[in-house]
Amino acid sequence: AGTVAMFLVGGGILVHGISVLHHWQIAVTEFALTNLGRLGEVFAPLLFDGLLGVLAGVVVVLIHHTVVSIKTKEPAN
């Protein structure tokens, strides 16, 4: 549960810090409300934040692995 919470919090920070993501989240939530009702309105922002948090985590891991692999390569002789 703690890992899920961290992805939700991280995604929420990104959504509220980057205005275009915030506007996308509002559009997704309105779409969910129209098509799925109140339940969609409740879960759409959670899913949006969670997926964005996971995506951001994947990007960070890929960058980390790339940097580590570049640093650990032996210099060419």
* Predicted TM-score of the model (pTM): 0.82
**43 — phi, psi (to 5°)?**
-90, -20
pLDDT for res 76:
64
Pair of tokens at residue 43: 């879960």
Q: How confident is the model at residue 1 (pLDDT cuts 50, 70, 90)?
A: confident
- pLDDT tens per residue, range 10-67: 999 999 999 999 999 999 999 999 999 999 999 999 999 999 999 999 999 999 999 9
pLDDT for res 66:
94
